[in-house]
């Protein structure tokens, strides 16, 4: 039988793996060089704001959770600054309030990684781990970072539901799951069965989308209400 091990939690890290084991890297190195443009942007941010996180932002939450939320990429002054997904900018205000409302989080969200907020049965990650200029990663960058998304999925043994926030997260999830876009087109509120998983689509909870009413808080809550009803 194949054993799946991760670099983060492998107790024998640095030791030879057991025969048949597969090592999955769920978190990139702090200086991941795979996207030269993003690495350069990261370095410039480190020089400009040495007290910010300015590194690939790790997933947050419960690896044994049944729900995974996949965003686009860290916001410059949000997760890239604080080091926790969706923490410190407008998108996090709506996301964490909604997770608290539907029982996927507990505590008080205070927009800081040390606010004590914990996720319940839930994990949050991003399709692209490094902050991109203008929030727009290039297709090659999304492709390079998918290995970490795929590893994250494969190392969540109880995973049953994925909420993709926006089209980029949706498309990257489809590729990670080996599904064709034509079989599961992105649409807010849609649910796509994918084997043992269900992929739910939502418009991204960005300030732009909410200011323009592309996404209302009610529309966002309806996605998580359905996930909660399905997961029980
Ligand atoms: S976006 Fe992902 S693959 Fe690209 S440099 Fe950052 S961590 Fe590496």
**pLDDT-above-70 percentage for the chain:** 91
* 150 CB near ligand 1 (under 6 Å): no
Going by C-alpha positions, the residue among 95, 85, 77, 131 that lies closest to residue 203 is 95
Confidence of residue 23 (pLDDT cuts 50, 70, 90): confident
Confidence of residue 17 (pLDDT cuts 50, 70, 90): low
Going by C-alpha positions, the residue among 175, 165, 178, 159 that lies closest to residue 208 is 165
Q: 44 lies in which domain range?
A: 4-231
CATH (domain of 149) = 3.40.470.10
Helix axes 139-154, 167-177, angle to 10 degrees: 60
* 130 CB near ligand 1 (under 6 Å): yes
Helix axes 90-101, 217-231, angle to 10 degrees: 40
User: 68 CA distance to ligand 1 centroid (A)?
Assistant: 20
Going by C-alpha positions, the residue among 90, 88, 86, 89 that lies closest to residue 163 is 86
Give the torsion sign (CA, 216, 219, 225, 227).
negative
User: 70 CA distance to ligand 1 centroid (A)?
Assistant: 15
Confidence of residue 3 (pLDDT cuts 50, 70, 90): very low
* 145 CB near ligand 1 (under 6 Å): yes
Please tell me which residue, 3 or 160, carries the higher pLDDT value: 160
Residue 169, judged by CB atoms within 10 A of its CB (0-12, 13-18, 19+), counts as buried
Give the count of domains, the chain: 1
Q: What is the atom index within ligand 1 of the atom nearest the CA of 32?
A: 8
* 56 CB near ligand 1 (under 6 Å): yes
Q: What is the atom index within ligand 1 of the atom nearest the CA of 39?
A: 5
What is the pTM (predicted TM-score) of this model? 0.93
pLDDT tens digit string along 32-64?
Answer: 999 999 999 999 999 999 999 999 999 999 999
């Amino acid at each position: 039988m194949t054993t799946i091990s991760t670099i983060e939690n492998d107790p024998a890290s640095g030791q030879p793996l057991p025969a048949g084991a597969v090592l999955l890297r769920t978190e990139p190195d702090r200086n991941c060089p795979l996207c030269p443009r993003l690495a350069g942007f990261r370095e410039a941010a480190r020089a400009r704001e040495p007290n910010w996180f300015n590194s690939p932002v790790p997933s947050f939450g419960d690896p044994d959770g049944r729900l995974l939320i996949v965003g686009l990429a860290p916001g410059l002054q949000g997760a890239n600054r604080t080091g926790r997904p969706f923490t410190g900018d407008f998108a996090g205000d709506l996301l964490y309030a909604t997770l608290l409302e539907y029982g996927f989080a507990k505590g008080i969200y205070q927009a800081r990684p040390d606010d004590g907020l914990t996720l319940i049965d839930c994990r949050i990650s991003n399709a692209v781990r490094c902050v991109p200029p203008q929030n727009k990663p290039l297709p090659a960058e999304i492709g390079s970072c998918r290995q970490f998304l795929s590893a994250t999925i494969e190392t969540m043994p109880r995973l049953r539901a994925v909420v993709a926030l926006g089209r980029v997260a949706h498309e990257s999830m489809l590729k990670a799951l080996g599904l064709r876009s034509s079989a599961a087109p992105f649409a807010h509120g849609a649910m796509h069965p994918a084997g043992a998983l269900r992929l739910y689509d939502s418009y991204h909870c960005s300030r732009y989308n909410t200011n323009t009413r592309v996404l209302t808080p009610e529309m966002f809550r309806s996605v998580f209400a359905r996930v909660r009803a399905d997961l029980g």
